[in-house]
Structure 1
Amino acid sequence: MKQVLGFLGFFAVVQGVAGLVHEFAGWRWGLVQRLGFLDGHELYASVALLVLGGSLFAAADSGRSG
């Protein structure tokens, strides 16, 4: 379970960073800008993904072993 949470956290952080890079540098990569229902809210979604990724990392670290 720790590995799954760690992977999901990593994926969320990477997508959050990709969305912020897209907003500020104009590079077109990542999933946030490709989702039509997020039109105009990409910056908020990217920040939310960064927060979600940090939360998933914290959850993976605080889990019981065994």
Structure 2
Amino acid sequence: MKKILEVAGFVLFVSGGSGLIHEVTGWMPKFFGFLQLLPFLRGHAIYTNIVLAVAGIALMASADRFRRV
């Protein structure tokens, strides 16, 4: 369970970070373009990417609460 949470948190963090860099600078390609599939998030890309990055960090931090089975 711990490793699954760490991997999911890392994927969310990389997705949010790369999307944020892409929206601000236009330099880095978006790694995961699944946000384009949700029509209600199209005008709020910067905020969505910030939330994804913070959620990824929180998920990785919460993975330490689980013990290895």
TM range (shorter): 0.7 to 0.9
Q: Superposition RMSD on alpha carbons, in Å?
A: 1.7
How many matched pairs? 66
Q: Name the structure 2 match of 1:56.
A: 59
Same amino acid, percent of matched pairs = 39
Q: How far apart are residue 36 of structure 1 and its match?
A: 4.4
* Structure 2, gaps ≥5 residues long: none
Poorly superposed stretches of 4+, deviation over 6 Å: none
CA–CA separation in structure 1 for the residues paired with 2:25 and 2:51: 19
TM-score by length of 1: 0.83
Are residues 1:34 and 2:36 paired? yes
* Structure 1, gaps ≥5 residues long: none
